Amino acid sequence: MNEERVQIIGNDMIIDSSLWHACAGRLVHVPPVNSTVSYFPQGHFEHAGMENADDAIATASRIPWRIQCRVTSVELKMDSRTEEVYTKIHLNPIVTNNNNSTDDDKDYALSESLNLFGRSQFLTKVLTQSDANNGGGFSVPKKLAETIFPPLNYKITKPGIENLPSQDILARDYRGNIWKFRHVYRGNPLRHLLTTGWSKFVTAKQVVSGDTIVFGRDDNGDVYVGIRRVRRARWQGRIRAESVLEAARLAAIGRGFEIRYYPSSSTTEFCVVDSVVNATKRKMMNEFGAGTRIKMAFETLNSTGVEPVGWYKGSIESVEDVDPNHWPGSFWRRLKV
């Protein structure tokens, strides 16, 4: 792995885009610098778990539900203590006379999924209870072993476990540490396993059942390993209420502000490229209604990198404001499915 991919600043690390998205998930969208986006304060409050707090409710009456902004900087970061990824985005509110997207925004919406990961490859697996047991090994999916790891020599000439196909895997984590795993191909039926070294990794990283292991290979053929933590309902204490209220206040008076977004929260992105927002707005006004069939993407548990998403499908029950008293006219969570 190229050393330029990781830059440590204080307690956090700025890491390469492909590595960051591998841990964040394929459905996480980060707007590019200079793009026009819509900032939803209502979603920001929800992300911090404070949508029902008195301060948030009082603030809601003084700010619009949607504020158009220009992205001036983006940092893809990882907490060096927990290895949980987040993004820090600086926004400048803008005054516009229309809701049309720029050509750059349209290009972003069309090409983002094609260019997100560059030439890097990664595969993931959600850890089972057996995988997360620090006294056991890791059962490697066949596609992961054959795509990410160097090829094994399957030409066995002598009987005995010591002669089964095996090799040492050196994988670098996002701190720059090298982990050595013994990769073997054995069992009945035959399967790929990581044995020696895996227990040490589980203990050091404090992984649990439900966490996702990410193995990747970069442009140079070097192997890296990361963790996507199991989703939490809220990130209590991770985002300070004061910072969210200040961001909303600054946005409302047209001054630059900063937001943080943690993909592993269970909340929706609240800073969205305008081309996506405007397309949704048109559908909301012209196509969506009670009975309309819709679908929503979700990332499959064990992504092969080829078909990373599945679809929730349902029918719209109603189109209405989720909080008409404090956010009248807001499109945030307006569809009840």
Considering 27-36, 105-114, 282-291, 320-329, the range whose residues carry the highest mean pLDDT is 27-36
Q: What CATH number belongs to 121-228?
A: 2.40.330.10
What's the confidence (pLDDT) of residue 325? 78
State the pLDDT at residue 158: 55
* Whether residue 61 has pLDDT greater than 90: no
Query: d(Cα 149, Cα 181) in Å, to the nearest integer?
Result: 11
Q: What average pLDDT does the segment 205-234 reach?
A: 81
Exposed, middle or buried: residue 135 (CB in 10 Å: 0-12, 13-18, 19+)? Answer: exposed
Alpha-carbon distance of 28 to 24, in angstroms, equals 6
178: β partners: 172
Give the whole-number percent of the chain exceeding pLDDT 90.
Answer: 22
- The 10 Å CB-count burial string (b at 16+, else e) for 149-165 is beebeeeeeeeeeeebb
Least confident of 77-86, 128-137, 194-203: 77-86
Q: Which of 18, 30, 6 is nearest to 263 (CA)?
A: 30
Stated pTM of the model: 0.77
Mean pLDDT of the 132-137 span = 81
Q: What is the pLDDT of residues 79-105, one digit of tens each?
A: 777 778 889 999 999 876 444 444 444
CA distance 198 to 30: 32
8 A C-beta contact, residue 150 and residue 170:
no
pLDDT at position 303: 46
pLDDT value at position 167? 92
pLDDT at 1: 42
Which of 222, 181, 212, 208 shows the shortest CA–CA distance to 85?
212
Residue 233 banded pLDDT, cuts 50, 70, 90: very low
**Does 149 score more than 60 pLDDT?**
yes
Per the CB < 8 A criterion, the answer to whether 39 and 63 are in contact is: no
pLDDT band of residue 8 (cuts 50, 70, 90) is very low
The shares of helix, strand and coil residues in the chain, as percent rounded to the nearest 5, are 25, 30, 45
Percent of the chain, pLDDT > 70? 76
Tens digits of residue pLDDT in 9-39: 445 666 667 778 878 877 788 899 999 999 9
Assign 335 a pLDDT band (cuts: 50, 70, 90): confident
| Cβ(71)–Cβ(89) below 8 Å | yes
